[in-house]
Amino acid sequence: MYWMFLYVGSFLLMIISIFYIVKTNPTTHTPIIHQHYSTVQVVESPKRVLIEEEICTRFDGCPIVNNVCIDCLTSEELVGVTHRR
């Protein structure tokens, strides 16, 4: 019974001493670092792209000879395209 009392008492003394060391130990504060970010918006002028379309005039489809559509009409149009990154 005497050994049990010493065992439990030493265990409690160890816990109390650990808490005492943790509470009284001076710790250095971590520095607060302020980071500032600035954003810049870049405005680009719209780019113009030439679009070329072939429009078939026949309902049943155009015959193609040497990679060229015989009855198709060609339509060219400048279209403004904007790309954002």
Tokens of 80: 């403004």
Q: Which residues contact 62 (CB under 8 A, 6 or more apart)?
A: 56, 69, 70, 71, 72
| Counted domains in the chain | 1
Kindly state whether residue 32 falls inside one of the protein's structural domains: no
pLDDT at 1 over 50: yes
For residue 68, the model assigns a pLDDT of 76
Kindly state whether residue 34 falls inside one of the protein's structural domains: no
pLDDT confidence of 85, banded at 50, 70, 90? very low
Kindly state whether residue 33 falls inside one of the protein's structural domains: no
Distance CA 80, CA 45 (A): 10
pLDDT confidence of 10, banded at 50, 70, 90? very high
Distance CA 62, CA 56 (A): 6
Kindly state whether residue 36 falls inside one of the protein's structural domains: no
Kindly state whether residue 31 falls inside one of the protein's structural domains: no
Question: Which H or E run includes 75?
Answer: strand 72-81
Kindly state whether residue 35 falls inside one of the protein's structural domains: no
CB distance 57 to 75 below 8 Å: no
CB distance 64 to 54 below 8 Å: no
